[in-house]
Structure formats: structure tokens, C-alpha cells
A and B are shown apart, each in its own frame.
Chain A
Amino acid sequence: DADVTQTPRNRITKTGKRIMLECSQTKGHDRMYWYRQDPGLGLRLIYYSFDVKDINKGEISDGYSVSRQAQAKFSLSLESAIPNQTALYFCATSGGFTTQYFGPGTRLLVL
């Protein structure tokens, strides 16, 4: 079984809809992250969390919110999706300092 799982793997939604992307991990890590990848732009950090009570904004948090329901679960919400949020979204975890381990990604298309 994968250490970091993301659901759904693919999602098509319409402008204005609220959607949630979910991430679960079995690595026992405290730290979890959400990134988005756009063609030619690499990975950019949206939000991160160091434990259940800790939530921090990343580089591009506008239009997104997160919830850390448990040590193993970290969800990303788009309250009102817009087309420029079409991207590949990755969840990642880390147990210590620097090395992060990524999930398989969620491909989101906002029409």
C-alpha cells in the first residue's frame, strides 16, 4: 500500500463549485503539505501543517483552505473554484526536517 494517498485522482468541476481534495498518510509523519504544479512552473506551496493544531499559509494560499483532521489526514478545499485553479495538486509529508514524500497527485480541471 502507498504511504501517501490522495483522493480523488482526477476531478472535473465547474466554476463556483466547492470541492475538497483529501490526503492520507501511513508514514506516521507530523508534517503535511499541499502543493500545486502548473506546466513550466514547478511545485508551489499552498499550505502546510506541522501538527493537528498548526496550519500555515504557503506561497499561494489565496482561494484555498485546509483542514488537518488528524495526524494522518490533511484536506485541501477550494471554496469557489475558478478556471486558473486547474492544476496538478500534490500532498506531501515529512517526519523530520527536509525530505518530503509525495502522494500520486490529483489532476483538477475547473471548467
Chain B
Amino acid sequence: DQQVKQNSPSLSVQEGRISILNCDYTNSMFDYFLWYKKYPAEGPTFLISISSIKDKNEDGRFTVFLNKSAKHLSLHIVPSQPGDSAVYFCAASAWSGAGSYQLTFGKGTKLSVIP
């Protein structure tokens, strides 16, 4: 049972336009959400996060929106650049007891930004 879903395996966007990557979750205990970016032959790198007490967090060209009632979050990249081409993973965190938070990852969305 997949608790974090990224339903679009891939997305193509023109350079300069907005990229919107979507993520849905089912576990209402998730209270912190993260986006990671992964280039080929490299490990995932942390991009941006949001706490469940907020509905928006911005960092430069990257904005994450959280809709708790819909159990949905999205990552907006504006403007998109060719260097943004990568696989983006959505991750959600919940307290699992004994001093631990664990991350549950989606399957990823491959973003291609076309020059």
C-alpha cells in the first residue's frame, strides 16, 4: 500500500515556464514533507520542505504548497531552467516512536526542461 504517491512518472516543460510536480499521501500522521532532487549517478539532494502547520514555503525559484484537507502537496519551479532536469522525489515524515522519524518516499517524477 503506497502511502506517498507521485502519479506522474515524467513531465516535460519549456525553459522559462512553470514546472508543477504533484504528490499525494494517505497517512494522516505525516507531519513534515520534503522534496529531493536526484541527478543520474548522484545521491538525492534535499531541496525544500514544509511542516504540516504551514501551507506554503518558498526558497528562491522553488515553492512547496501543502493542502492538508486534500492530502496533497506540490512543488512549483519558476522559472524552469535546463539544470532543473532531474528526478524529483516527494517524501513524508511521521513519528514512529522510540525517538525516530522515518521518511516514506514516492516513486519519483522525472522532469525534463527543454531549452
Q: What is A's interface to B at a CB cutoff of 8 Å?
A: 4, 40-45, 48, 50, 56, 58, 90, 92, 97-105
A101 contacts across to B, CB distance below 8 A: 46
Q: How far is the CA of A45 from the CA of B102 in the complex (A)?
A: 9
Can you name the residue of chain A whose Cβ is closest to the Cβ of B102?
Answer: A45
Identify 13 new A-B residue pairs, CB closer than 8 A, beyond the known A42-B106, A45-B102, A105-B42.
Answer: A40-B107, A43-B89, A44-B105, A48-B100, A50-B100, A56-B100, A58-B102, A97-B32, A97-B101, A98-B32, A98-B103, A101-B46, A104-B41
- Specify the main secondary structure of chain B where it touches its partner: strand
Q: How far is the CB of A21 from chain B (nearest CB, A)?
A: 13
Can you name the residue of chain B whose Cβ is closest to the Cβ of A99?
Answer: B46
Q: How far is the CA of A50 from the CA of B101 in the complex (A)?
A: 10
B45 at the interface (CB under 8 A from A): yes
A99 contacts B106, C-beta separation under 8 Å: no
25 A-B pairs with C-beta separation under 8 A: A4-B43, A40-B9, A42-B106, A42-B107, A42-B108, A43-B44, A44-B105, A48-B102, A50-B99, A50-B100, A58-B102, A92-B43, A97-B32, A97-B101, A98-B32, A98-B49, A98-B101, A98-B103, A99-B46, A99-B49, A101-B46, A102-B45, A104-B41, A105-B42, A105-B43
A102's contact among B43, B100, B107, B108, by CB below 8 Å, is which? Answer: B43
Which residues of chain B from 58 to 85 have any CB-CB distance to chain A below 8 Å in the complex?
none
- Specify the main secondary structure of chain A where it touches its partner: strand
A48 contacts across to B, CB distance below 8 A: 100, 102
Chain B, interface size category, equals 20 to 34
B89 contacts A42, C-beta separation under 8 Å: yes
Question: Known interface pairs A42-B89, A43-B105, A90-B43. Does A99 touch B100 (Cβ–Cβ under 8 Å)?
Answer: no
B108 contacts across to A, CB distance below 8 A: 42
A58 contacts across to B, CB distance below 8 A: 102
Can you name the residue of chain B whose Cβ is closest to the Cβ of A6?
Answer: B43
A100 contacts B43, C-beta separation under 8 Å: no
Q: How far is the CA of A56 from the CA of B103 in the complex (A)?
A: 14
Q: How far is the CA of A100 from the CA of B99 in the complex (A)?
A: 15
Can you name the residue of chain A whose Cβ is closest to the Cβ of B100?
Answer: A50
